[in-house]
Amino acid sequence: MINVPVFEPGEFLTIQKIVTEDDTAVHYGSGALDTLLATPSLVALMIEAATRLVDSRLPEGYVSVGKSLSITHEKPTVLGETVTIKVSVVNQESNYIQLEMEAFDEEGVIGHGKLDRFVVNKTRLMEKAAEEAVSNQIGVNV
């Protein structure tokens, strides 16, 4: 049984990042949008904040993994602006943690969403993934 720390509803973490060329839509294959924050970059920042919030308190050998994600990217943010992500705990049931996320730039809210994460044993997760990879190769010509 995992001894998961208790996360209280309302606990939160905030991170910030200045939008660079690597964060723009064109970097993710979106044609001419070379000065706007890409939705995948926004998602990555939200996941980073959630992971920092949860994983920083986990026992040695445990990590959190995403189960479900839903976001809305409401407004564009341009190259050079600062994006702020706030991730808050909504609920926890044993090793299942529900989070809410908000994203802001200098102009206001640019997005929001929900993320569900599970706390798991990292070694067992990697062993299971390796077993599945091997079983998927059986009978396949490489």
In 7-95, where do the E strands start and end?
A: 12-18, 62-73, 82-93
Q: What is the pLDDT of residues 5-53, one digit of tens each?
A: 999 999 999 999 999 999 998 888 876 788 999 999 999 999 999 999 9
Instruction: Quote the percentage of the chain above a pLDDT of 70.
Output: 95
Partners of 88 in beta bridges:
12, 100
Q: What is the pLDDT of residue 142?
A: 45
Domains, in order of start, for the chain: 12-137 (3.10.129.10)
pTM comes to: 0.90
Q: What is the pLDDT of residues 81-102, one digit of tens each?
A: 999 999 999 999 999 999 999 9
112 confidence band (pLDDT: 50, 70, 90): very high
Is the CB of residue 16 less than 8 Å from the CB of residue 49? Answer: no
What's the residue count for the chain? 142
Flag whether 66 is marked binding: yes
Q: How far is 5 from 67, CA to CA, in rounded Å?
A: 19
Tokens found for residue 68: 């479900």
Token pair 């294959």 is found at: 29
Flag whether 113 is marked binding: no
